[in-house]
Structures are given as structure tokens and as C-alpha cells.
Structure 1
Amino acid sequence: MRKKLVQLLLIPFLLFYAFPVEAAEKEVKWEEEVIYFIMVDRFNNGDTSNDFTVNTNDPYAYHGGDIKGITEKLDYIKDLGATTIWLTPIFANEKKGYHGYWTEDFYEVEEHFGTLEDFKTLVKKAHEKDMKVILDLVVNHTGYKHPWLIDLDKEDWFHEKEDIFNWDSQKEVENGWLFGLPDLNHENDEVKNYLLDMATWWIEETDIDGYRLDTVKHVPKWFWEEFSAAVKSVKEDFFLLGEVWHDDPTYVADYNKTGIQSFVDYPYYNEISTIFAEPNKSLDGLFRVWKRNEYYYDNPYILGNFVDNHDNVRFVRKAIQKGEDPETRLKLAMTYLYTSPGIPVIYQGTEIAMDGGEDPDNRRMMDFSVQSPIKEHIAKLAEIRRSYPSLTKGDFQLVYEEAGMAVFKRTIDDETTIIAINNTTDPQRVEVTEEHLQGDMQLTGLLLGDTVRSKNNKYEIELDAETAEIFVLEEKTSNYNLYLYILIPILGLIGFTMLIRHKRKSN
């Protein structure tokens, strides 16, 4: 445990003096990943030659973001601690389909975004940095004016045009035209085979690592079974992250049986975005989400957890509407996001506390000039999460909760971490007994640097209002030893600097 503390203290120095090494092949453990979610058109403009019809004053038009722009920012994303990037669809879209969800050609890259070679380069560069790439894929529908709609040979490639009126009818949900978008007829073998061939082609051609599957509940489960088998026959560890937009975990988890390993967790989102938008709200609801997930899912540790996405009002707006300081509230939400079971998914702009209302206001162009303490907070959380396996694989227990002051415990093997979150407007003190933690040890703070030593086999955790701390349980150290741990690397750096200066003077 002491070794880990020293390693954590050395992080600032290692970041400055690290050298790139070739990534070794290793088993993919998705619970260890951190996903950075990018809306391609609204991220970074790396190639102005494809900026035709761009109008940054029109929220429904293309704004100039492209694939080269993402490649340019891979180091930025990696410095945040993200290990995987998820991109909105890059397929050729019809007019004003800046978001990528109105497919016009499943085999072509949208010309506003670049070329197939640009995308291959992005994937290659990401892999060189030991980062994975997930591509958003829509197989439920096409764009409003897809060429197949006027192709007489493809009249039966779509379901009959009908809106969805009864959302409790699975038949309507699967066959209706969502928002009037032409609904593909998966029962047609030609359609099914086309989509399966297309999905495997992109893996073989570009070496992507996963798909985020859009509108999963609008496609029959039997199709997803065949789809899952097809893509995993190409790449065994290929990751499928499904979007089943539903509040009932039993409904969502049923799609787990189709071979889709993971889902963006909307029940989790509903709780975290509500609870942390304002203080003095209990965290019990979040823990109940976990207990349900633990019961229903094959592997709840790889569900995609998020506080922001491109379909909902941004978290910052919710905090502002409550009259709260958004950065204070966002720090607490991020702390829970990175320490609770599941894969953290960060939507571009969350790291700079970006504001945004309903679609398309929640899809503003990323602004890299903005400096925010949230960025540093997220990077630090990612490093802590990476350093302590209990935060990715450990069990999850609620030790204490009262009116917004909560203490969680995570344990794996001989490692125990404690997450203390004060979601109240008053300072709080919580006593944790040997019923939950081994006595005669100490809790060493990883965020704020607090140390809590046991007294009579009890630990008194104190937190200021609207703050949080992550502790690791370890053997007691004297203050003298702790100062040495901090001082040694600093003295080493000072000594190295003085040696360089002495050599320069000698020359």
C-alpha cells in the first residue's frame, strides 16, 4: 500500500518525464476503460478544405469538425485519462445530417468529415497510443431521403410507414418509423445480410474495437443475436455498447442475452444527474441502481455510466437552473462517476463545464481555449482509478448515508478504498467502525491529501460542505515517514536541477 502511495505522489513528475513505449498486446478488460465521447462535427476542425456548407451560426448545420481534427487531439484526450474514444456515426449523411444519424451510404465516409484513409489513420494513431476506437452505428433506419426509398427493387427493404403511438407495444417500437425515419425491414434476408456484411466490413477494413449501437430496442432481438455473432467472428474481443433508452433495468438487461455486452446506463444517468445537480439530496437512489444492475446484468462492471450526452440537457445547465455553482456540483458528480462500478463515459465539453440546453444546444462546438478545474479533476480521478483495482473491479458497499452525506467501500483482494461524498451544504463528520473497516490502520486521502488514523478501531471522516475524498486503507505511517514520501522526489528534482546548472557553469 505504501508503494502505491509513493507512485501516486510521483505522478506529476512521471507525466513530465515519461517516454512513449510501444503498447504490448494484453487482454481487453473493458471495466478498466474510460470512454471519451465525441460528436465529430462539433469537436475540432482539422481540415478546412471540407468546410463547404459550414455555418457555425446555424445550430442545425455543419460546424467543421472532422476526423483529422480528432487525430490532432488524441494527446489531449489521453491526457484527460481516457483510454477509448467513441465517435458519432461517420457514414455519409444527407443534407444537414451533421450528427451522423441520417445515413445516406453505409460504406462511404461523410465528406464533411474526411476520407476512409483519414479514419484509418485515426484508428492507427489511437492504437499506437494504446487507445481504442468505438464507432457509432445505426442499423434501425436510414436518412429521410435514402436512395433505396425510390429503388423499385428495394420496395420491401422498409417496413410500412407508420408512426409509433403505443410505446408499450414492442411490435410498434420495432416496426414504426422513429421520428419519421424510414425503418429497415430486418426480416428481409437481403436487408439483414447487407447490414451484417457492412458491419463486419468496417471492422476488417479499419480495425475498430467496438460499436456503440444506436436505437437497440427498435430492432428485433434475433437480429442482434446474429449481429453479435457476426462481428465477434471477425474480432473476438469486439465491444458492443448498446443504447436501450428505457428506465426499467429489466427491460434493458434482457438485451444482454443477445450478445450485446454493455449498455449506456440510463437509470444511472437519471439518478446521478438529478442527485448532484443540487445539494442535500440523498445518494441512496444511486446505490439502488447498482444493486439492481448487480442482479440483472451478466457483468454490471462494464455498463456505460454518464452524466452528459448529446441527447439530454447538459449537467451544467441543470445545476445553473437550480441556482448552484456548476463546477462544484460537477466535481462531486465526476467523483462518483469515476469511483462507482461501470465505465465512465465523458461527453466532450464536460471537462470544461460546458453549458447547453435541449438538442441542438447541447451540441455546441468544443472550445479548447477554455480552462476549467474540472479538467484537472477528471485527469486526477482517472489516474487514481487506474492505480487502484478496487475502483474498477472491487465490490461496492454502502457504509453510510444520511441526507446526502455518503460513504462507500470498495474491496478487492487485500485492497480497500473508501469514497466519501458530502453532498450537503454543511460540514459533516462520519464515524466508521471496525464493522466495516479493519482497525489500527489509516485512511490515506488521494484527492485532498487527508489522513485519518484509527482511534479505538474507529475512523472519523470529516468533510467540508460539497466536497469529496477517496481514501485507501493501509498500515499506519508516522507523519515523519509521510513527509519523507513527499519530500524525497521533490529533493531529487531540486538536486538534479542544481547539478545541471553546475555543469553549465563549469562549461
Structure 2
Amino acid sequence: MSKKSLVFLLVPFLLFSAAFSASADKKEERLWEDEIVYSLMVDRFNNGDNTNDEGVDYSDPVNSFQGGDFRGIIQQLDYLKDMGFTTIMLSPVFKNEENGFHGEWVNDFYETDPHFGTIDELKELVNEAHKRDMKVMFEFVTTHVGPKHPWTKDPSKRDWFKKEGLDSTNKWLNGLPQLDQDNEEVKAYLIDAAKWWIEQTNIDGYSLSGLDLAPLGFWEEFSAAVKEKNENFYLAGTAGEGTMDDLAKYQKAGIDGVTDSIMTEPLRNSYSTIDVSSKSLMDMWEKNKGTYPDPQALGALFDDRNSTRYTKDMVDNKEYPGARWKLALFYLYTQPEVPIVFYGTEIAVNGDLPPDNVPVMNFRADDELMEFIGRIGMIRQEQRALSRGDMEILYEKDGMLVFKREYEGDMLVAAINNTTKDRTVVIPADKLEDDKELRGLFASDLVKSKNGEYKIVVDREMMEVYKLADKAGYNIPFILSIFAVFILFGFFMYFAWRRGKKRNPYETS
């Protein structure tokens, strides 16, 4: 075959390649609302480097380091990527005092804890995550230091601390020397350190605990300073207590993803047992819309290192954790706020208050729940209506919940049957659109509008998320365009062959 014939042969493929390239060029920027967060305690996740295990005592997980480190997280990045997580949130990484495996007993704000690895290994973790299109955050401690921090023995820094120690139900935190962020030197030190870590590691964000323990002005200055270094830098934060109005102030001060701690209790109550109304969740979302500047950027979670494990609620209710977790996570991934999943959720880790709730991660568990998380994670990533859209309730009764999410013309409908019976819900077409169909993205269900309504059927303790679409039929314009491409291709090949024959009448092939 001549060279020109080969060129014509490649034409259709080049056309399709150009179309895909144009599509890639239009790839939408990922916002914080689009993230799915995996929160982990560095020491308890994975031991990838035995050379930094000095002081590790496997017989005493209550008080001692267990060997988890940056290298171990790097080794499990594909594991997290496969489950659909887009952001990894680490516990504090600063150098800690003896047995400070949790990261809260800070001894030096400019060094990593040697049990976790070097700053170069932290950089490597960030770089490897970025290669996988994942982001990394760590908790930046601003409220306290370790009990033996050098500042506590320095008379010139006496006014760096509040008179009272930290008051907490968490034994790691209770009584710790509490920093006074009203002090200009303390404020400058913390802000300078925060900027330094961004410069050194290219980290994507910080999580900040104890928002309510520092004045609002501190958070305004802290936020402005770090975002001057990186305008896309993300700040998440938790407050020990406060009303919606209190939490909304932190978001207005620049803490993008305030953890919706008020939502946690109704979240846990709604799915730790069966036949429970979800009305409180719907009502709270309506309140959030009227209270927060950016309600979709709030963080939603079931548990964290300061709480009992959500699995414990299920066990206490004599329910099977596997089924409970699937329903709970399905709601978490289809509701508007940013899902934050605590490590070990994928294997239904149980546990009481810390440190019982932070065991060493077991990667040899059954993978059924992990596969489930991966499936719903992929759906949330692909459907912007789930991360950015508004939410409207369509039906709710005793655990059967149907709601819609809508964003820029795309409409999705989520149906969750947290009851003991199969359920049928009829949704009037005027709540969606008439003469369309609901295509299941999770279980491949299909519901077509009929007589001005959609009849959704969901088995007990099951779920589905549908995308509203035109009723399936033959796409005549598309089919004709395909035929046109191949007809043109045939003409190109024919004329190329004729030209080749004229130039070389003795050519036989």
C-alpha cells in the first residue's frame, strides 16, 4: 500500500482522536466540593519502613507508636485511588514528644516526627499522590503544644499561653498547654510555619481542629496568609461546639470546609438501625442552605479519631454492619456535602472512645465493602450534580427516602430503602420531567415515565441513583454521520488506489 493510502487510512482515527483531545481540553477544574476525603492516622495506617520503628511497642497500642509512616501511605496510594478517594487527610505530622503517636503532643513545628519519616518522604508522598490526581492535607495544630515543649520552660514565652490548659474528653488533649492566638508573636509564628510547609512540601491543604478555641480574627489572617501562597489551598476545620451560625462565621473567615458537626448525630441515628426517618437530615440541609455561604463545601462524616466508631452504633443496635454501612455510605456519597471517610471504614472497624477506635489498619479483610465504596465513589466523581447540585426531597417515610440533585441541566434521583420491606414510590412527572426515563447508575435499574409518573421500586435495604435522560431510541443523526465517515473513507481509498495504479501500472499489490 502506498504512503498516501496509509495517510487516508489514518484520517478517521485522527478525526476521532481530535474529538477526544478537545474533550480533554475542556476538562473542568476540580473544586473542593468534588473531593472525596479519606482521613487517616499516620501511625496506625501502614508501616512501610522498619528503620524508623524505634520506640514502637506492638504490645501496647494504647500508649505507644505502632509503626505507621509516610512510606507506608505511599505504598497504599493505589489502594486508596481504587476506592475512589481523591484527597488524603493526615493526622498531625510534626515532631512529637515521647509516645505522641497521635501527633497532638507537638515538640517542634518545623520537623516531621522521625517515626513517620523525613520531610523528603512527605514531599515524595505529596508528589506520588499528585501523579495519581490525588490531593494531600495534614492537620496543622494551632491550639496547643506538647506538655514538655521548650516554650513551656521559657519565661519569655509565658504570655504565649492561656492560663488554663486544654479542656477535652480526649485524654490525648486534656490538660495540654493552650496557645493564645491573640498574642501577636504566637499568631506570627503559626502563620509563618504554615506558609513554610506549603513552600517545602507543595501540600494541598490543612485540616484545623479547635476552631472555637481561637478568635475569629486569627482565622481570617491565617486563611489570607496561606491562600496568598496558593490561591487554591484548602482549609478544613472542626469546632468542638457551636450553632450553625457559629460555624458559618468560620466559613466566612476563610475556612472553606467547616466540618458539619451538627449533622453527625442525625447522620449516625438515621442509618445505624432500620426503619428510621431521614426527615431530620432533609430539614438540616434546608437550614444549611440558608446559613452557610457555601453549604456544599461543608464536610460530612460519621466518625473520626475523637469519637466512637460508627460500627459500634450498629453492633449496639444488633444490626449487621455490612448492610448498615452500605446504606449510610450511599447517603453520604449522594448528599451535597463533602464526604469524609475515616480509615478502616472500608472494613467496618469497631471501637469505643480513643484509643480503642484507632487500631492498626488491617488490609487483609473482606473486600466487599471496599468494592462498594469504589463504585459509589466513581459515580460521585463522574456526576457533578452529586457534588455541586442542590438537593430536593421527593419522598420520605420511615426510612424510605427519595431525593433529587440538579446541576446545570443534569438531574439525578437517589432512592434509599432503609426499611424491612421492598418499597414502591410513585413520583409525579412534574417533579422531574415528563416523557423521560431514569437510568440506574448503580444497579442498572430503568424507570420510564408512564401516565405522567415514575414508579420507583427498591428492594429492602437497597439503593439506586438514577440519571434523568431522554427515552432510549435510535439516534438517526449519529448513525448517518458514522455511515458518512465510512463512505468518505471508501472514496479516499478508491482514489488513492487508482492514482497508485496510474503511476505504476505493473504494481500488483
Q: TM-score, normalised by structure 2?
A: 0.85
1:418 aligns with 2:399: no
1:147 aligns with 2:150: yes
- How many Å separate the matches in 1 of 2:213 and 2:299? 20
Contact kept in structure 2, 1:445 and 1:469, CA below 8 Å: yes
Contact kept in structure 2, 1:301 and 1:393, CA below 8 Å: yes
Label 1:249 to 1:155 Cα distance change in 2 as closer, same or farther (>3 A): same
Letter in 2 for 1:156: D
Aligned to 1:221: 216
Contact kept in structure 1, 2:165 and 2:177, CA below 8 Å: no
Shift of 1:372: 3.1
Aligned to 1:42: 44
Match of 2:354 among 353, 359, 372: 359
- How many Å separate the matches in 2 of 1:75 and 1:163? 38
- How many Å separate the matches in 1 of 2:30 and 2:463? 31
Label 1:303 to 1:424 Cα distance change in 2 as closer, same or farther (>3 A): same
Cα deviation per residue 1:326-374 (whole Å; 9 max; x = unaligned)? Answer: 1101000111100100111111111111222211111011111112311
Match of 2:442 among 440, 447, 453: 447
The 5 Å alignment of 1:100-139 reads 100-139=103-142
Partner of 2:430, secondary structure, is coil
The 5 Å alignment of 1:159-178 reads 159-161=162-164
Contact kept in structure 1, 2:165 and 2:176, CA below 8 Å: no
Label 1:294 to 1:422 Cα distance change in 2 as closer, same or farther (>3 A): same
Shift of 1:25: 9.8
Shift of 1:453: 1.4
Cα deviation per residue 1:397-445 (whole Å; 9 max; x = unaligned)? Answer: 0011111111001112321110001111111111001231212211111
Partner of 2:454, secondary structure, is strand
Count the aligned residue pairs: 449
- How many Å separate the matches in 2 of 1:328 and 1:359? 25
1:51 aligns with 2:53: yes
Aligned to 2:194: 199
Match of 1:277 among 267, 272, 279: 272
Stretch moving more, 366-375 or 185-194: 185-194
Stretch moving more, 242-251 or 303-312: 242-251
Contact kept in structure 2, 1:314 and 1:362, CA below 8 Å: yes
Q: CA RMSD in A?
A: 2.1
- How many Å separate the matches in 1 of 2:167 and 2:130? 41
Aligned to 1:266: 261
Shift of 1:188: 2.2
Aligned to 1:79: 82
Partner of 2:174, secondary structure, is helix
For structure 1, the 5+ residue unaligned runs are 1-21, 168-176, 482-507
- How many Å separate the matches in 2 of 1:426 and 1:24? 45
1:435 aligns with 2:430: yes
Contact kept in structure 2, 1:23 and 1:129, CA below 8 Å: no
Shift of 1:163: 6.5
Partner of 1:362, secondary structure, is coil
Aligned to 1:252: 247
Label 1:242 to 1:60 Cα distance change in 2 as closer, same or farther (>3 A): same
Match of 2:283 among 288, 294, 311: 288
Contact kept in structure 2, 1:28 and 1:237, CA below 8 Å: no
Aligned to 2:493: none
Label 1:68 to 1:162 Cα distance change in 2 as closer, same or farther (>3 A): closer
- How many Å separate the matches in 2 of 1:130 and 1:398? 33
Partner of 1:230, secondary structure, is helix
- How many Å separate the matches in 2 of 1:413 and 1:24? 16
Shift of 1:161: 3.3
- How many Å separate the matches in 2 of 1:301 and 1:267? 15
Partner of 2:390, secondary structure, is coil
Contact kept in structure 2, 1:23 and 1:130, CA below 8 Å: no
Aligned to 1:382: 377
Letter in 1 for 2:319: E
Letter in 2 for 1:129: R
- How many Å separate the matches in 1 of 2:216 and 2:438? 47
Shift of 1:162: 5.4
Aligned to 1:315: 310
Aligned to 1:496: none
Stretch moving more, 463-472 or 275-284: 463-472
Cα deviation per residue 1:154-207 (whole Å; 9 max; x = unaligned)? Answer: 222212235759x9xxxxxxxxx9621101122222211111111110001111
Q: TM-score, normalised by structure 1?
A: 0.85
Partner of 2:137, secondary structure, is strand
Contact kept in structure 1, 2:297 and 2:337, CA below 8 Å: yes
Stretch moving more, 153-162 or 65-74: 153-162
Label 1:64 to 1:25 Cα distance change in 2 as closer, same or farther (>3 A): farther
Contact kept in structure 2, 1:353 and 1:372, CA below 8 Å: no
Cα deviation per residue 1:224-273 (whole Å; 9 max; x = unaligned)? Answer: 11111111111111101011132621221121221111111112211111
Shift of 1:60: 2.1
- How many Å separate the matches in 1 of 2:281 and 2:33? 19
